[in-house]
Each structure stands twice: as C-alpha cells, then as structure tokens.
Structure 1
Amino acid sequence: MKFIKFEKENNTKALVTFIHYLPFDQVHGLPDEVLATGILVGIIPDPEPNGKIPKLYINPETQEMWYEYIDSPPEPIDAIGQEVARQKFDNLQKDMIIQTFGQEMTAMKLELMQLKAKGGE
C-alpha cells in the first residue's frame, strides 16, 4: 500500500500532492496522526513518457487515478541563448550606429579642412 495526500478541486477530482511508498515501514513509516490526513492506495499508475510534466490526480470517491500533462517550460539554457542572441543583435545595431557616426565625423572633418584651406588662400 502507498499513502497519498491530495488537494481537492471538486468531489471527483483532486491533485495528488504527496506520496509515501512505505507508510508502514518500521524505520521510514508514518505515524498514525499523519496516516489520518490522507488515504492508502494500491497501485499508482506510471506517467506516459511524452516530454510533458505529469500531474497525478485522483477521484477521492472511487480512488481512480490518472495523469494530466502540462507543457514543459523552455530549458533555462534556451532562454539564456535567446537572451545572448538578442544582446548580440542589439550590439551589432549599436556598432552600425557608431560606425555611421564615425563616417559622418570624418566627412565633416574633411569638409572643415577644405573650408579652412580655401579660406587661407
């Protein structure tokens, strides 16, 4: 037998929040006060390996159990990679702006030198 605790969503659906696989074990078992806060079940089904996060539910009236699946959040490394790519793109844009300003400054210096040279004649 396995011991479970759950949070009721309604009379026929509850999210399993705790599972103890050895509730009567001499060393790792649970005291009667804790056992009174949940129920004992026989078999807990295995989740499907589908790449999603399984959430175990139980019908408290019939003790039927099933999984509902939610999409996994993106891997942290994916989020980091996207942020790095965005920053690189931003930096490239800034570099292009700086390069354009540099070219404009050079053109203005040349114009100024030409004007000074004409004025000194």
Structure 2
Amino acid sequence: MGCGTPQGKMSKNTVLPNGLVQGHAYTVTGVKQVMSQGTPVNLVRVWNPWGQGQWKGDWSDKSPFRQTVSPEDREMCLSVADDGEFWMTQEDFCRFYSDLDICCLCPDFLDGTSSYHWKTSF
C-alpha cells in the first residue's frame, strides 16, 4: 500500500513542521489497534522510503502517548528508531495524506478469472 502527502504551495520535498515531507510518497507497513487509558486507538504504521525523517505528532517516537499503552504493545509495535518508520493515528493519517493506493498482484486477478473485483473511489 502506497500513500502520498499533498503537494501544497511550497516547493516539492519540503519537510513540514510536523515532520512529513510535502508532495512525497510513503508506504503503509501496518495497522494496529491499541488500548490507551481504556480507549481503543487505531494506529497506522508508515514508512518514509528515504529511511529517515518521521512524523513528529501524536504517537510519534517521542510522543508521551506511547507511555499510555501496555508494555506488550509498546514492545511489539511501538519501537523507537530513526529509520523512517513511524506510527500515527488513523485520524491523523486521513488528515495529512491525500491518497492511498492498494495494489494486487495475484495471477488470477491479471487474467480476469478471479471472482473478486476491484473498485476505485475518489
């Protein structure tokens, strides 16, 4: 799954104050629901293919929200590293990314024999 940030008014590849790069392609590498202070939170894991530069908002590597989940969730999915991969809420993902592309490379999809049909919405 690929996603992208909107181009905006500034020049391409401008790093915004929130850490995201304007007009840039990213990859969605995972989703996870965690419990934070008794409330479920839907998180999206995103990777910057540059291998550096990360989201600086809620649920980022240095966010205090990371301390509100169980130690097991923190260990399993909320590791801290400057590797370009980061977590953000589903709401923030929808607010800051302009598109999400999902590709299927199944052989039966390509030859038209699949009973599954793709739909596109904008």
Q: Give TM-score scaled by structure 2 length.
A: 0.27
**Is the radius of gyration larger for structure 1 or structure 2?**
1
Q: Give TM-score scaled by structure 1 length.
A: 0.27
